[in-house]
Structure 1
Amino acid sequence: MTTIDALLAIHPGEAPAIGGPGRDWLDYDGLRALTGRVRADLRAAGVGPSDRVAIVLPNGAAMATTFVTVAQAACTAPLNPAYREDEFAFYLDDLKAKAIILEAGYDGPALAAARRFGLTVLRLAEDASVAGVFSLTAEGAVTPVEGDLPGAEDVALILHTSGTTSRPKIVPLLQSNVAASAQHIAASLSLEPGDRCLNVMPLFHIHGLVAAVSASLAAGASIFCTGGFNALNFFAMMQEARPTWYTAVPTMHQAILSRAGRNADVIAEVPLRFLRSSSASLPAQVMAALGETFGAPVVEAYGMTEAAHQMCCNPLSRQKPGAVGVAAGPRVAIADEAEDRLTEGTGEVVISGPNVTPGYEGNPEANAKAFFEADGKRWFRTGDQGAFDADGYLFLTGRLKEIINRGGEKVSPLEVDGVLMDHPAVAQCVAFACPHPKLGEEVAAAVVLREGMSADEAEIRAFARERMAAFKVPARVVILDEIPKGATGKMQRIGMAEKLGLVS
């Protein structure tokens, strides 16, 4: 199956597809009917199969169904609702969006930015009783168009890279990319129609869009869509949704763990088949605590936007703490970091497969650096450093641009994280590079302490000194109430020194 439309065409009509708090379930027949109405509404509003539709909606069932239905008629471009007007203006202009979908009554910065460029504004009115059902109404004068269903080689989803150190790059993902990745994830997790995902991931991000929503729909399973991650109501949502699994980033898992003790009754009442973690490294200590708390396998996966999310996944039958799993969809190999050739041992992780983007849009320089031909295949450089063990499990050392170069000694921030997380008082930590006048870079770390426990910088550094070589020990340990995170809940190493005022 090579399109999102084809993924949905085969499932029994009465099976539940999309749910949400306090709403009736939308079944597969209802989702297909909604898709037909949305396609008609888009064509009536002048939106054709190759036109780009920005989506700015809060998390929830309507956001999920908007993505799924619009992607079967045009090209979707979900954006973070928390952006400011100038940020929206940048992305809308960069995307060359034709239209934007906003909630009925919304009068915020996305609307102001859309009006700068004369975009067609489509207002979404959500049904009050059935999850994910909505209607679209175009504002102003529009000229209807005709158009077929998007094909396998048409762009289904456009996202930007995070752009932490440079201008964000445009990542177009084809219908075939999204469909392939959804099927890869469903297969690696053995998803079946009886499975139900509790989605807490933001739906402007590849993790939630593909791992939670698209993979579930590919398997004929169901997704209960929350309004976003909230540790305070997670277990209430779990009780209402009755999920068999959920997927999240490590910081979310840690927040869930912190409230698990007082919700042991819900955990017993709603047993999970497995838990999934992706989008950042899951500390081995957190994996062990999750497994013990929920009595279920904790599956760490490895994904990125350019791969339509998943590249590797720990099998349900055997998880290795600290590993991101075995190849789970695309081919995964190790390449020389400087030369365009595959190699053995530690090097840059590269991938090749049907889920991989054809290339960054309008950026030949980035494509020349990111893609190369070897062994008869086109490989994409992930920017991650790692190595496979004898069993084919991939262990990451870190992002190449995040590896700390301390006077020529290379330090893996993930290794430092792993040691600091063994300290009994440390709940969260992130190691990062801090500028140094003579060494170039020095190791630093930010930590959050466990509730009711205490430790100071000297104690944590002494703990580390007993367990790793002196050059790897953080020269600075900053103790915080909360570590700064990005929009998707990930702790970002690059720029952390500046955020914490450690750069003079």
Structure 2
Amino acid sequence: MTTISALLAGHSADLPAIGAPGRAWLSYGELRSLSADVATQLRSFGIGAGDRVAIVLPNGPEMATAFITIAQAAVAAPLNPSYQQEEYVFYLGDLNAKALVIADGYEGPALAAAHDCGVAVLRLQAFDQRPAGQFGLTGTFAAQPVVGPAGPSPDQIALILHTSGTTSRPKIVPLLQSNIAASARHIGASLALSETDRCLNVMPLFHIHGLIAAVTASLAAGGSVWCAPGFDALKFFGWMKDSSPTWYTAVPTMHQAILSRTDRNADVIAARPLRFLRSSSASLPAQVMRALEATFKAPVIEAYGMTEAAHQMASNPLPPRAQKPGSVGVAAGPLLRIAHEIENHLIDGVGEVVICGPNVTPGYENNPDANAKNFFIQDGQRWFRTGDQGALDGEGYLSLTGRLKEIINRGGEKISPLEVDGVLMDHPAVVQVVTFSTPHPKLGEEVAAAVVLREGHSATEREIRDFAASRMADFKVPRRVVILSEIPKGATGKMQRIGLAEKLGLGTAD
């Protein structure tokens, strides 16, 4: 199974595949039929297997099926529905998109950008009275419809996403059919997914986490995906009651928001027991992992992924093997090693995490400098540099120190922001924390932290700093602690370290 089509092919036609609030289930037979219809429609619009189709849709079943069906017939390129017109102009141009899929009736900035870029517009008409995810496409028929192959080949690009571009221009990451199929199988194996499993998806479907871990891995295993219209902690337990999931996957900030509402939803948790919970896309504080386990009485599987790996690289294993709080687990698909941070060779000890495997992108598009910097070959194997610093313990569990570009260099002393996060999270009044660097005229960088206090608790900056000072060396103690009602987050719910000092107006420290 090295294509998305092959992943879907073997499941019984009557098994449920895609669900949503208030909708009948879309079966695997109906999903395969929809995939064939979408391929025929795209060809009639002049879109071939190698053409890029940008998708701007809200979260929900149609976004899930649009990705799955379009990626079997062309190159799917989901984009964040919250972008502004200038951003869409950039991404449509950078992708060299041939078409843009938007909802019927949508008149927002993506449409204006498509007109600016001369990109064909395809309208997606959802069929609300039909099973979840059923849709049709309307557009301008081509004078010469494309006659394409019956199905994509394993080495054909299926999905294109951009890196976050936090500190530089976003890089284009092409993922092959074989990359996606491999990652879906890796995730399914890590979680022992089967046709009896159901994922409650709250992750955005313009991001690799939701697209691959929630949707594609579930479908590869013959399981089902119940697609919520985004994340809403106030509605989560209602969705859980309606969908009867066996698992869900989320980023740590989502898990924390869910935890804040568990006391009043104990009946739902008891009536809808989960087989496991999954966390990825950012480091899960050990305190949050333990609280989730105690509350849901189920293992919490923290995984480590990134776009260039078609998501998963490592995962904490299911019982009876241990889930180690603070670790992102063991290699879960690709080979995983530690490399010298500057020189191109593998090492023991602390260094840059590197991977090699069938889920890894063939390379950034039109970016030879980035490829030269991020890939190297040793002993005939091609290793990808993740940009993360970490180390493997004697049992093969990986612990991350942080992103190399996020490591704080305070006058030559290297400080892991994750380590400081872990200490501050032990303070009884702290519910969320993100440690980051601020500029310093003499030391270069200084340590700062933004915290959110637990409801009903109070603490001063001095009290939090004193707490940290009692548990770690002085040079690691944050010189500034900013108490916020909410920490700024990115589009996928991850807290942002880079640029946080500027966002909070923290200039050069004294």
Report the TM range for the smaller structure's normalisation: over 0.9
Does the residue aligned with 1:433 lie in a helix, a strand or coil?
A: strand
Cα distance in 2, alignment partners of residues 264 and 147 from structure 1: 53
Partner in structure 1 of residue 147 of structure 2:
146
> Is this contact kept in 2: 1:51–1:75, CA < 8 A?
yes
Cα distance in 1, alignment partners of residues 289 and 177 from structure 2: 33
Does the residue aligned with 2:148 lie in a helix, a strand or coil?
A: coil
Q: Deviations over 1:467-496 (max 9, x none)?
A: 000000000000000000000000010001
TM-score by length of 1: 0.99
> Is this contact kept in 1: 2:45–2:141, CA < 8 A?
no
Partner in structure 1 of residue 412 of structure 2:
408
Map 1:412-427; keep pairs closer than 5 Å: 412-427=416-431
Cα distance in 2, alignment partners of residues 244 and 127 from structure 1: 27
> Is this contact kept in 2: 1:50–1:150, CA < 8 A?
no
Partner in structure 2 of residue 429 of structure 1:
433
The one of 385, 388, 404 equivalent to 1:384 is: 388
Residue 272 of structure 1 pairs with residue 274 of structure 2: yes
Residue 282 of structure 1 pairs with residue 284 of structure 2: yes
Q: Which residue type is aligned with residue 342 of structure 1?
A: L
Partner in structure 1 of residue 123 of structure 2:
123
Map 1:291-370; keep pairs closer than 5 Å: 291-317=293-319, 318-370=322-374
Partner in structure 1 of residue 497 of structure 2:
493
> Is this contact kept in 2: 1:285–1:422, CA < 8 A?
yes
Q: Deviations over 1:431-479 (max 9, x none)?
A: 0011001000000000000001000100000000000000000000000
Partner in structure 1 of residue 250 of structure 2:
248
Partner in structure 2 of residue 452 of structure 1:
456
Q: Which residue type is aligned with residue 189 of structure 2?
A: A
Please report how far the alpha carbon of residue 375 of structure 1 lies from its aligned counterpart in structure 2 after TM superposition.
2.1
Partner in structure 2 of residue 132 of structure 1:
133
Please report how far the alpha carbon of residue 119 of structure 1 lies from its aligned counterpart in structure 2 after TM superposition.
1.2
> Is this contact kept in 2: 1:123–1:139, CA < 8 A?
no
Does the residue aligned with 2:2 lie in a helix, a strand or coil?
A: coil
Does the residue aligned with 1:80 lie in a helix, a strand or coil?
A: coil
Map 1:34-53; keep pairs closer than 5 Å: 34-53=34-53
Q: Which residue type is aligned with residue 368 of structure 2?
A: P
Q: Which residue type is aligned with residue 135 of structure 1?
A: G
Cα distance in 2, alignment partners of residues 15 and 69 from structure 1: 18
> Is this contact kept in 2: 1:13–1:29, CA < 8 A?
yes
> Is this contact kept in 1: 2:44–2:142, CA < 8 A?
no
Q: Deviations over 1:139-181 (max 9, x none)?
A: 4766421111221001000000000000000000000000000
> Is this contact kept in 1: 2:46–2:142, CA < 8 A?
no
Identity in percent: 71
Q: Deviations over 1:242-267 (max 9, x none)?
A: 00000000000000000011000100
Cα distance in 1, alignment partners of residues 292 and 492 from structure 2: 20
Distance 1:151 1:386, change over 3 A: same
Q: Which residue type is aligned with residue 484 of structure 2?
A: L
Q: Deviations over 1:255-286 (max 9, x none)?
A: 00000110001000100000000000000000
Q: Deviations over 1:380-400 (max 9, x none)?
A: 000000000111100000000
Q: Which residue type is aligned with residue 120 of structure 1?
A: A
User: Mean Cα displacement is larger for which, 104-113 or 136-145?
Assistant: 136-145
Does the residue aligned with 1:121 lie in a helix, a strand or coil?
A: strand
Q: What's the RMSD between the two structures over aligned residues?
A: 0.7
The one of 190, 193, 198 equivalent to 2:192 is: 190
Does the residue aligned with 1:17 lie in a helix, a strand or coil?
A: strand
Cα distance in 1, alignment partners of residues 500 and 243 from structure 2: 37
> Is this contact kept in 1: 2:46–2:141, CA < 8 A?
no
Residue 216 of structure 1 pairs with residue 218 of structure 2: yes
The one of 373, 380, 383 equivalent to 2:377 is: 373
Cα distance in 1, alignment partners of residues 101 and 20 from structure 2: 20
Q: Deviations over 1:212-239 (max 9, x none)?
A: 0000001000000000000010000000
Partner in structure 1 of residue 475 of structure 2:
471
> Is this contact kept in 2: 1:434–1:503, CA < 8 A?
yes
Partner in structure 2 of residue 67 of structure 1:
67
Residue 170 of structure 1 pairs with residue 208 of structure 2: no
Cα distance in 1, alignment partners of residues 118 and 483 from structure 2: 48
Please report how far the alpha carbon of residue 116 of structure 1 lies from its aligned counterpart in structure 2 after TM superposition.
1.0
Q: Which residue type is aligned with residue 362 of structure 1?
A: N
Cα distance in 2, alignment partners of residues 296 and 204 from structure 1: 28
Cα distance in 2, alignment partners of residues 261 and 388 from structure 1: 37
Cα distance in 2, alignment partners of residues 327 and 3 from structure 1: 23
Q: Which residue type is aligned with residue 205 of structure 1?
A: H
Q: Which residue type is aligned with residue 224 of structure 1?
A: W
Does the residue aligned with 1:401 lie in a helix, a strand or coil?
A: helix
Q: Which residue type is aligned with residue 28 of structure 1?
A: Y
Q: Which residue type is aligned with residue 439 of structure 2?
A: P
Does the residue aligned with 1:232 lie in a helix, a strand or coil?
A: helix
Q: Which residue type is aligned with residue 350 of structure 1?
A: V
Cα distance in 2, alignment partners of residues 147 and 120 from structure 1: 19
Distance 1:447 1:86, change over 3 A: same
Q: Which residue type is aligned with residue 423 of structure 1?
A: H
Cα distance in 2, alignment partners of residues 4 and 493 from structure 1: 35
Cα distance in 1, alignment partners of residues 440 and 243 from structure 2: 50
> Is this contact kept in 1: 2:13–2:29, CA < 8 A?
yes
TM-score by length of 2: 0.98
> Is this contact kept in 2: 1:65–1:132, CA < 8 A?
yes
Does the residue aligned with 2:370 lie in a helix, a strand or coil?
A: helix
Aligned residues: 504
Q: Which residue type is aligned with residue 326 of structure 1?
A: V
Q: Deviations over 1:305-326 (max 9, x none)?
A: 0000000000011200000000
Please report how far the alpha carbon of residue 208 of structure 1 lies from its aligned counterpart in structure 2 after TM superposition.
0.1
Residue 393 of structure 1 pairs with residue 397 of structure 2: yes
Partner in structure 2 of residue 27 of structure 1:
27
Partner in structure 2 of residue 78 of structure 1:
78
Does the residue aligned with 1:153 lie in a helix, a strand or coil?
A: coil
Does the residue aligned with 2:111 lie in a helix, a strand or coil?
A: helix
Does the residue aligned with 2:133 lie in a helix, a strand or coil?
A: coil
> Is this contact kept in 1: 2:338–2:350, CA < 8 A?
yes
